[in-house]
Structure 1
């Protein structure tokens, strides 16, 4: 079945099946389409890249064969009808299948040439960039050296225009997701100071700050399965050490303290930059930690923001001094309040447990604070509420293990909350919990069954 699910067909094969349903079986277009979709789905064909629509005859008299609208519009653009570009963007924005079909029919060079010939005219450039951003969404492989240079030039030459900058940065972001080579090429081409500079220059423009912060974050991803070792860590270091990234992001957060979506983006990016002990300390010294804690206190109603804030706390608390600063500023209480408020949200529970686990590590005093303020109860409740979510179970096991690692006297009160049964349940349900679950049971002083993995199939010890 696994192989069947990976089967692909071409758009032409799908369209032919729809056409056959209409002509041979006299179905109406809607029925013919539905029948074709069901037929291919039942055969285990992946239709992600297929436009599920009936090809239409163009209003252009020269065209005889029906084709999909996105290809009709692409042909208009090829023949110099520039006004069609907005419609092309709309169609690409409908879904991946439209973008994929357009790319298969060589849309990228057409759109890039439109971008290049529009550079002198703001409105035309903006429209062309929107088309490029839409086309490259989910298709970073399309970007070539010419496209990279074009985007870098736009970012250098249109610094004053926030709309153009946003569209260009959005395209950069699309081309850097799951594409290590594009990231490395753009970084070599000087994209990082252009992104940090855009935030500094237009710090008051919320949407641009969000877009640029997200693009910086994407530069620190390690998500391209084709590459064994990426430059994620290196890019994070360059952003911080060479381009003053931490200060720029913290200052931007201070400038948008009322705007949750901007703050959420900035928190997420700061988390990705906290890759060294001293960077965590720098975020704290710049007022970033105070900002994050205030944010958690003021916005604990909003689960998405809470998740990002908890993720940021987890990242910066990798530094032992920052751990203490978090706890001293009432961080444990705020984390527990946030977890209890959003107990049904598995992501909040996962990040909340991860924060408590990091704060407890090697810090007996912090362990006492976590016990006193209901941290264990919150983790226990998270385990009960999200039995099927492996990451919640793993992080909650880590909390228990780190709490008793240097404070064995906490084992008894923790076990009285029914933790042993919950960990055993997690071990049975999720094999990924094996190591951390068994370590937690062992450190809590429970009996641990260490299953023998080697069965001696290749000969006996008694020979």
Structure 2
């Protein structure tokens, strides 16, 4: 059970159980009624019931049963069943099982088991997967840190690189533990996790270790609200200096249709934090690879890959040198072809308009090319078809502005096709579009653009 909004109070398992027992003994409620009353009362009082076992008196909880079996210190392979069962239980994010497990010592227990199973690759992989499922929030990641988790995981990575399942489990733990925890990101970087990631990417077919992409993304994401100045930008530069960006390009090139393409593209985007890195990705053939992935996503109808690759291409287009390369390789026509294949999906269309907007920024030539390829028609048709999609309407306004701000000849074409009415409607309908719409109307040269 998740915490109610604004919850600031907690309760122990013992206090909760006593409350249910009092409802039965003192108020004469039957067990089910007593349990339901306790939950409702505490919820209304703003008590956070995360991690509290809410079973009827006398009933067993499967998470507690698994932990009990694991504490019996069974040898391999008997330990596999409870490890795998715990993993399945805690992977169910809506169940609250991970909270129950971590509150009852699962993180500490699984770290100990991982250390003991170093010689049993199958058992170790199962223990790592269970640990990754149990670590789900700041509290559980802090327990992981306090019990030496980072060092143990890195030591396993150093010694067990021959087994894909073990690697997959290790990087899943890294991703889970570092999520929302800047201190753990720093701990892993101090332990040279970047160098280990580089070695694994270089040595293996990374399609067998997809969690490595999640680990890269998480380590390079600033997601800890406790920290005012994150270090992830510097981490990304270290990743690039090792050559991880180029290896990720190779991964996309070799397996352009493999099932983890989206994760790999997001990981590469996480590394591309400055102009120099974006240009190095292009030098490694990254633009050709991404455009090919975009073409394939359209042919296969894979909207997830289409959106992710457009977003990645937009990041690379932040470099002026890459803008020219993308257009020279037919990028505008390929993006407009993609828009035709996903004409009924506003989430893809808004990404396409975002990348076209970036390509046209400060470039008369690219703006002219975009109009010739049909970007103006795309904006008009999308705004007409999806008036309720605020992000699409906003991205269309941004794109229109860049199409016309340096190219007055484009203004007449767009105004003649009714773009002003569509922009004003977006401005009135969506609060998030107000500034973008105003700027677009101003650069179109219309009167009363601010009204």
Same fold (TM over 0.5): yes
Q: Using the TM superposition, give the Cα deviation of residue 399 of structure 1 relative to its aligned residue in structure 2, in angstroms.
A: 0.3
The separation in 1 between residues aligned to 2:16 and 2:174, in whole angstroms, is 33
Counterparts of 1:140-159 in structure 2, within 5 Å, are 140-144=141-145, 146-159=148-161
The answer (yes or no) to whether the contact 2:175–2:215 under 8 Å persists in 1 is yes
Corresponding residue for residue 198 of structure 1: 200
Say yes or no: does 1:178 pair with 2:180.
yes
Map 1:184-333; keep pairs closer than 5 Å: 184-203=186-205, 205-208=206-209, 210-241=210-241, 243-259=242-258, 261-300=259-298, 301-333=301-333
Which stretch shows the higher mean deviation, 389-398 or 303-312? 389-398
CA drift of 1:393 comes to 2.5
1:260-294 deviations in whole A, cap 9, x for unaligned? x2322222222222222222222222111111111
The answer (yes or no) to whether the contact 2:108–2:143 under 8 Å persists in 1 is no
User: 1:411-451: per-residue Cα shift (whole Å, max 9, x none)?
Assistant: 12112333223322333333333332221111111234658
Residue 106 of structure 1: how far off its partner (Å): 2.3
* Deviation sequence 1:197-217 (CA, Å, 0-9, x none): 1111112x4131x32122112
Quick one: distance in 2 between partners of 1:40 and 1:384?
A: 49
CA deviation vs aligned residue, 1:112-153 (integer Å, no higher than 9, x gap): 111111112222212211221111134433321510100110
Equivalent residue number for residue 76 of structure 1: 69
Q: Distance in 1 between matches of 2:417 and 2:42?
A: 52
CA contact (8 A) 1:10 1:50 kept: no
Q: Which residue of 2 aligns with 1:437?
A: 437
How much does 1:55 deviate?
4.3
Distance in 2, matches of 1:103 and 1:274, equals: 35
What CA deviation, in whole Å up to 9, does each residue of 1:311-340 have, x standing for no partner?
111011111221122122221122122223
Partner in structure 1 of residue 170 of structure 2: 168
TM-score between the two structures when normalised by the length of structure 2: 0.87
Corresponding residue number in structure 2 for 1:368: 368
Change (3 A) 1:437 1:52: farther
Assess, with a 3 A threshold, how the Cα gap between structure 1 residues 44 and 199 changes in structure 2: closer, same or farther: farther
Are 1:428 and 2:428 an aligned pair?
yes
Q: Which moved more, 1:347-356 or 1:386-395?
A: 386-395
Q: What residue ranges of structure 2 are gaps of 5+ in the alignment?
A: none
* 1:352 Cα offset (Å): 1.0
Shift of 1:367: 1.0
CA contact (8 A) 2:51 2:103 kept: no
Partner of 1:454: none
Asked if structure 2 preserves the Cα contact closer than 8 Å seen for 1:6 and 1:46, the reply is no
Q: 2 CA distance for matches of 1:422 and 1:223?
A: 37
RMSD of aligned alpha carbons: 2.9
- Deviation readout 1:77-98 (Å, 9 max, x if unpaired): 3343463333322222233511
Pair 1:48–1:281, CA change in 2 (3 A): farther
Aligned residue pairs, count: 435
Structure 2 SS opposite 1:76 = helix
CA separation in 1, counterparts of 2:22 and 2:431? Answer: 49
Aligned to 1:92: 90
Q: Is the 8 A contact 1:55 1:68 kept in 2?
A: no
- For the 8 Å contact 2:87–2:133, the answer to whether it is kept is yes
**CA 1:373–1:134 in 2, change beyond 3 Å: closer, same or farther?**
same
- Provide the residue aligned with 1:112 in structure 2: 111
SS in 2 for 1:299: helix
In 2, the alpha carbon distance for the partners of 1:354 and 1:109 equals 46
Cα gap change, 1:418 to 1:48, in 2 (>3 Å): farther
TM-score (norm 1): 0.85
State the 1:230 CA deviation. Answer: 0.7
Distance 1:382 1:15 in 2: 57
1:355 aligns with 2:355: yes
- Give how far 1:73 is off: 2.4
Q: 1:157 Cα deviation (Å)?
A: 0.7
**Is 1:339–1:349's contact at 8 Å kept on the other side of the alignment?**
yes
With 358-367 and 302-311 compared, the bigger mean Cα shift is at 358-367
